[in-house]
Structure 1
Amino acid sequence: MRQLPELPIDILPNILDHIEQDDANTLFSCLLVSRIWCRLIIPILWRNPFNYANYLKKESKREEKQSKIIDVYISCLSADAKKRLKDRTDIKILPSLPSSKRFFNYPKYISSLDDRRILCAVWDWKLKREPSIDGHDVYHLLFALIRMFAEESQSLHHLSLNSCFYDKSMDRKKKFSPKDSFSSLSSSSEKAMIETTQIVTIIKAQGKSGYLTEFTISSCKYGLDEIIDALRSDATAKSLRNLTFIGCDFAQLSSSQIVTTVEFFSRMESVLFRMCHGYRGEFLDMLEKKMILDHNVGSVETRAKPRKEAENS
């Protein structure tokens, strides 16, 4: 019987990339084939690990899965991050191997950073692992994880940050300073808001990698002009394809910024406006000239596509 030739190792990543995201069982089975396959599949499984947990139908299984994911990420926190959590919270940090003994640096593989999804996972972890801690501690852990992802990720494709975190137990301003991505987090009374300058820093850092293809921002009342300027920078704009604005105030844009912003939007595959406000007449006029809108911009939700592309489809 004729023996089949071995599969070239360099095409394996392309094949594995096409396995459906909800088919985690197949990917886990492939882990056991060889060390080479394991090294190829771990980055795929950890690009968006919370996604696999969402496919579990039983809530108890989903909670346990999310808790295990958070366990792994906690073990990857730096010694300084763990010390800060120990000093400021009642969380009992799980012991972990030194980074030199871990086979993989799991945080660096994450490609989709969505603070709301991570927050849900942290709450599941709390229920399973640390039921006695309060919401204050949950948010401290959330901020530590987001900071770690921002520092470690090497292939961030999707970034979604909600500018407001509600936590009534946090009533004093506190500093939150990772190396390159966020340098401070301010809080007052019931709301903690990620400062615009730190979001801009993240955009610039990830834009240089050429992997940032989607960007979502919500509840942005101040600094939207600075964020858009960072998004349309040469490094970021080359890879960016889809933008989503939720509850943002466009009144911040000056006349000159409106021209450059609409021109930038027209180079995207799509721009979604959801429950936004503050549109000026000149902004609406220019947007309608450059793009096809599926609804009036004042509607609850409007998607805009480049006029030439939309007319040809």
Structure 2
Amino acid sequence: MSKVSSSTISLASLLPLDVLRIIFNYIRKAGKDPDKYDRDTRRYLHACLLVNRQWCQAAVPILWRNSFYFCRDGNAKLIETYISCFNSAERHALLSAGVMLPKSQYPNPAFPYAAMLKRLDYDRFCNSVEIWCTETDQEPYNAIVLMMRALFRLFLTRSVILLHLVLGEWVDRTSTDWKYRRIIEEEFQDLLQSVKKLKVQGDFVKDCILKGLRHPCKNLDKLFVYLANTPQNYSYNDELVSLQELVKSQSHLKSLKLGNIHPASLFPTLSSQSTSLTSIHLWGCTFDSEVPWSNIVQCINLEKLKFRDCTGINEQMTEALTTAVFPKLKLLAMVGECKNSCGEYVTKECCDVLIEWGIEQGALVAIGIWDFADAWVKFGKDTYAFQFRWPYAGQFRNIYRQFLKALEKKVDEV
């Protein structure tokens, strides 16, 4: 894709802009795993910039909608491009605060890049600002904070519609919550109101952050919160309460993924989202006799119910689920290092009742450890079973997609 042929260019000139955007969106969706596809996706889109003006105008917004997603360690060049979007008043405000901005270094941009942001990977954004400040030898001790706030104001004044916010990186184990409090400052509340997907992870105290997100982020479709339940986390109980309030504040939450939470405390909040929830994913949770499974049973529109690395799988859970009816259920998965009440790994043999119930719901069923799983799907009166292996399941994020591909292949063979 580094070279574009003349025939491609002539064909491209005949394609309407909306068709081009469909093509680019297809390429973008093929690159959801940054470790595998990000370089190829970015290279293809960069090549599209060279075709003609229409291709360029369609590709640029896609390249800049999640600009920080592809730079885990930060990228000062991104900050330079955003600085070029500042007007004279915004530049003057930074200069007055002591931040150096040589005008010759930041020419006027060819596109309104700042207005194109849709996804903000906050930690990678912070890393990029920090690298830029280091490379430009900024003098104020708080130059990083000044620049971050200036960029947030830039996004606000350029009417950014932020759809996806990611707070916390798995690789960062030394952060404090002060790093994340800047995004929840009252001045930037309007920037968060459009967020549809929110992910809060990493090893930092999340109580204040979850409280700060509750008021601006009330229209989430997807919520993923991973609580670090360690002896050092003295605020774990406060985090649970804040998470409860965040879930309750939602108007139509569709997908909920919770890691290291106490089910007995969080499950009652599911009642507030019982009609809208279509996906529940529990990760690293411990179940006991106090868990109110009736709250999950109330979510009658569930399409996906997933358990990963959970312990305490017991008869109470099995009985509660197998007496429920989920007419829209498509996937029931219990994978990873799931264990029963006796500390034994959950296998297909000890879950026959649950498996049969899942199949009766018309769902795809996966039970097993990471490198092995059985799956069933019902087509009319016949039920096909098969086995396959995969390398650690891409941290479980692509299990549904991989099962469906394997199922399609199996059906074609029959």
TM-score by length of 2: 0.50
How far 1:177 moved relative to its partner? 0.9
Counterpart CA distance in 2 for 1:191 and 1:259 is 23
Counterpart CA distance in 2 for 1:124 and 1:226 is 36
Q: 2:278 aligns with which of 255, 267, 270?
A: 267
| Per-residue Cα deviation, 1:204-239 (whole angstroms, up to 9, x for no partner) | 4xx4xxxx65434456455323321343x14xx4xx
Aligned pair in 2 of structure 1 residues 217, 176: CA closer, same or farther (>3 Å)?
same
Is the Cα–Cα contact under 8 Å of residues 164 and 193 in structure 1 kept in the other structure? no
1:157-306 counterparts in 2 under 5 A?
Answer: 157-161=163-167, 165-166=177-178, 176-178=186-188, 180-181=190-191, 193-194=208-209, 196=211, 198-204=212-218, 207=219, 214-217=222-225, 220=239, 223-231=242-250, 233-234=251-252, 237=253, 240=254, 242-245=255-258, 255=268, 257-261=269-273, 263=274, 266-268=277-279, 270-273=280-283, 281-283=290-292, 286-287=295-296, 291-296=305-310
Aligned partner of 1:22 in structure 2 is 39
Q: Which runs of 5+ in 1 are unaligned?
A: 55-61, 184-189, 300-305
Greater Rg, structure 1 or structure 2? Answer: 2
Aligned pair in 2 of structure 1 residues 258, 192: CA closer, same or farther (>3 Å)?
closer
Aligned pair in 2 of structure 1 residues 195, 282: CA closer, same or farther (>3 Å)?
closer
Which has the higher relative contact order, 1 or 2, with Cα contacts under 8 A spaced 6 or more apart? 1
Aligned partner of 2:144 in structure 1 is 138
How far 1:137 moved relative to its partner? 2.7
Q: 2:78 aligns with which of 49, 69, 72?
A: 69
SS at match of 2:39: coil
Aligned pair in 2 of structure 1 residues 86, 264: CA closer, same or farther (>3 Å)?
farther
How far 1:27 moved relative to its partner? 1.9
Aligned partner of 1:114 in structure 2 is 121
Is the Cα–Cα contact under 8 Å of residues 161 and 191 in structure 2 kept in the other structure? no
Q: Which amino acid in 1 is paired with 2:53? A: R
Is the Cα–Cα contact under 8 Å of residues 48 and 55 in structure 2 kept in the other structure? yes
Is the Cα–Cα contact under 8 Å of residues 177 and 206 in structure 2 kept in the other structure? yes
Is the Cα–Cα contact under 8 Å of residues 210 and 246 in structure 2 kept in the other structure? no
Q: Which amino acid in 1 is paired with 2:177? A: F
User: Given the alignment of the two structures, is residue 91 of structure 1 paired with residue 118 of structure 2, yes or no?
Assistant: no
Q: Which amino acid in 1 is paired with 2:19? A: I
Aligned pair in 2 of structure 1 residues 77, 283: CA closer, same or farther (>3 Å)?
farther
| Per-residue Cα deviation, 1:17-71 (whole angstroms, up to 9, x for no partner) | 23354232332232122222221111011012223445xxxxxxx76xx111011
Aligned partner of 1:186 in structure 2 is none
Counterpart CA distance in 2 for 1:94 and 1:129 is 10
Q: Which runs of 5+ in 2 are unaligned?
A: 1-6, 32-37, 169-174, 194-204, 228-238, 300-304, 314-324, 332-357, 365-414
1:43-62 counterparts in 2 under 5 A?
Answer: 43-53=61-71
Is the Cα–Cα contact under 8 Å of residues 82 and 113 in structure 2 kept in the other structure? yes
> What is the aligned-residue identity percentage?
23
Is the Cα–Cα contact under 8 Å of residues 192 and 217 in structure 2 kept in the other structure? no
Counterpart CA distance in 1 for 2:23 and 2:148 is 34
SS at match of 1:49: coil
More displaced 10-residue stretch of structure 1: 287-296 or 123-132:
287-296
User: Given the alignment of the two structures, is residue 40 of structure 1 paired with residue 41 of structure 2, yes or no?
Assistant: no
How far 1:298 moved relative to its partner? 7.7
Aligned pair in 2 of structure 1 residues 68, 8: CA closer, same or farther (>3 Å)?
same
Is the Cα–Cα contact under 8 Å of residues 117 and 162 in structure 2 kept in the other structure? yes
